[in-house]
């Protein structure tokens, strides 16, 4: 039987102090961007920040039209001197597409293992005291769950995963019988049943043609984002967004600009990541939630979702009912609403696990 805790959207008074309050001038909190070349010739791009010898590790997986970005991590992460690592997923940004004959889940596992082995050379992933927290947003909750549920023989570092945080989560289509029913029409058409029926990936190829001009540069991408998300926020959500910016010392417009820049970077070397979205979601993620062993099942699953984010809210119900230990943070608001309380979510997750 699943153990579930539901938390309402926290009030502003319950949030923690601004990021800048901790280690503001320490150069180790300036994010580095690196690439790792694998033996087969693929390259992995990743961003990382924090003490290089820290054994508290945060793995963050980005969503669609984004790249790994470890800059300006939440204050609870800094205050614990955790290391924050954000890989760029296959086919996005400077990370190579999937190698022929490989799948998205197995590549994500292999890439993440390679990054950790590179950043922690000589580190025994079995006997170490490392504590790993896995997190992802939207499409990034697919690779986050893949890593969380990966068998330890394929991902030995998984033994030290404490919790997974899923923001605006997606459920695995191979397991969720109501996956298609959960999706709003545009989502259903692009990554639901039609994506499995229409040949030659024509749906996403058509979507690429429609989107290309909207991400040709940062200005166009920002206009696209504002029309898609920010202009459609109600007054309450806009107020929470403004309070969050003030708390973090973020100037108005900076968040939108950074998102837009990430969109442009994400497809600067090609569209393989986007075109592989439906295949990635519908692939075998390497495990079944209901069949996870006892060690995996004891770990915490934090699910944060806006009630107005219809597709993700509906899919989150399957995850809440299927994972064994879930904490659910529900918000009024849409797809980006979890961002406004990330400091609080991280503080609760880290403190609740003894970090």
CATH number at residue 300: 3.40.50.1820
DSSP conformational letter for 125 = T
* 88 has pLDDT over 90: yes
* 132 has pLDDT over 90: yes
Q: What is the pTM of this model?
A: 0.93
Q: DSSP 3-state assignment of 19?
A: helix
DSSP conformational letter for 319 = H
Domain count, the chain: 1
* 95 has pLDDT over 90: yes
pLDDT for position 23 = 56
Measured CA angle at 283 (ends 278, 286), to 5 deg: 145
In a domain, residue 94? The reply is yes
pLDDT-based confidence at 1, cuts 50/70/90? very low
335: nearest Cα among 194, 259, 224, 233? 233
The dihedral sign for the CA sequence 104, 324, 300, 152: negative
pLDDT for position 12 = 37
In a domain, residue 132? The reply is yes
In a domain, residue 17? The reply is yes
Q: DSSP 3-state assignment of 238?
A: helix
Supply the mean pLDDT for the chain.
91
What tens digit of pLDDT does each residue of 100-122 get?
999 999 999 999 999 999 999 98
Mean pLDDT of 207-218: 96
Most confident segment among 19-28, 239-248, 335-344: 239-248
% of the chain at pLDDT higher than 90: 74
pLDDT for position 201 = 96
% of the chain at pLDDT higher than 70: 93
In a domain, residue 127? The reply is yes
What tens digit of pLDDT does each residue of 137-152 get?
999 999 999 999 999 9
Q: 279 with 141: CB under 8 angstroms?
A: no
In a domain, residue 247? The reply is yes
Secondary structure (DSSP) of 131-198: EEEEEEEGGGHHHHHHHHH--TTT-GGGGGEEEEEEES----TTT-TTHHHHS-HHHHHHHSHHHHHS
In the chain the first and final C-alpha atoms are separated, in Å, by 27
Mean pLDDT of 194-221: 96
* 274 has pLDDT over 90: yes
Mean pLDDT of 231-241: 89
What tens digit of pLDDT does each residue of 2-26 get?
665 555 544 333 334 444 445 556 8
In a domain, residue 354? The reply is no
Q: 12 with 335: CB under 8 angstroms?
A: no
In a domain, residue 126? The reply is yes
pLDDT for position 8 = 52
pLDDT for position 90 = 98
The gap from C-alpha 140 to its chain's centroid, in whole angstroms, comes to: 4
In a domain, residue 188? The reply is yes
Mean pLDDT of 148-169: 96
pLDDT for position 223 = 96
Question: What range defines the domain where residue 271 resides?
Answer: 3-349
pLDDT for position 16 = 41
């Amino acid at each position: 039987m699943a153990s579930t805790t539901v938390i309402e959207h926290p009030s502003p008074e319950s949030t923690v102090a601004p990021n800048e309050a901790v280690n503001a001038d320490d150069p180790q909190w300036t994010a580095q961007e690196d690439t790792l070349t694998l033996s087969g010739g693929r390259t992995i791009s990743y961003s990382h920040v924090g003490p290089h010898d820290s054994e508290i590790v945060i793995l963050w997986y980005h969503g669609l039209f984004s790249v790994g970005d470890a800059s300006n991590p939440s204050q609870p992460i800094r205050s614990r001197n955790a290391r924050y690592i954000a890989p760029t997923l296959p086919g996005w940004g400077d990370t190579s597409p999937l190698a022929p004959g490989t799948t998205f889940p197995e590549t994500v596992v292999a890439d993440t293992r390679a990054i950790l082995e590179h950043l922690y050379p000589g580190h025994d992933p079995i006997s170490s005291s490392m504590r790993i927290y896995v997190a992802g947003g939207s499409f990034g909750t697919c690779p986050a769950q893949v890593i969380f549920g990966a068998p330890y023989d394929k991902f030995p570092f998984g033994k030290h995963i404490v919790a997974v945080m899923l923001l605006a989560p997606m459920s695995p289509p191979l397991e969720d019988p109501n996956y298609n029913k959960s999706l709003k029409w545009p989502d259903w058409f692009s990554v639901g049943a039609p994506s499995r029926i229409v040949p030659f990936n024509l749906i996403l190829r058509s979507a690429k043609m429609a989107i290309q001009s909207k991400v040709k540069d940062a200005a166009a991408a920002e206009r696209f984002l504002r029309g898609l998300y920010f202009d459609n926020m109600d007054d309450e959500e806009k107020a929470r967004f403004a309070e969050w910016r003030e708390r973090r010392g973020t100037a108005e417009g900076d968040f939108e600009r950074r998102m837009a820049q990430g969109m442009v970077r994400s497809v600067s070397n090609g569209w393989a990541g986007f075109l592989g979205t439906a295949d990635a979601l519908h692939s075998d993620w390497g495990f079944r939630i209901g069949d996870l062993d006892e060690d995996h099942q004891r770990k915490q699953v934090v699910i944060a979702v806006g009630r107005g984010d219809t597709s993700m809210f509906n899919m989150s119900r399957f995850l809440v009912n299927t994972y064994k230990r879930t904490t659910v943070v529900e918000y009024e608001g849409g797809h980006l609403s979890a961002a406004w309380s990330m400091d609080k979510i991280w503080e609760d997750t880290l403190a609740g696990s003894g970090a």
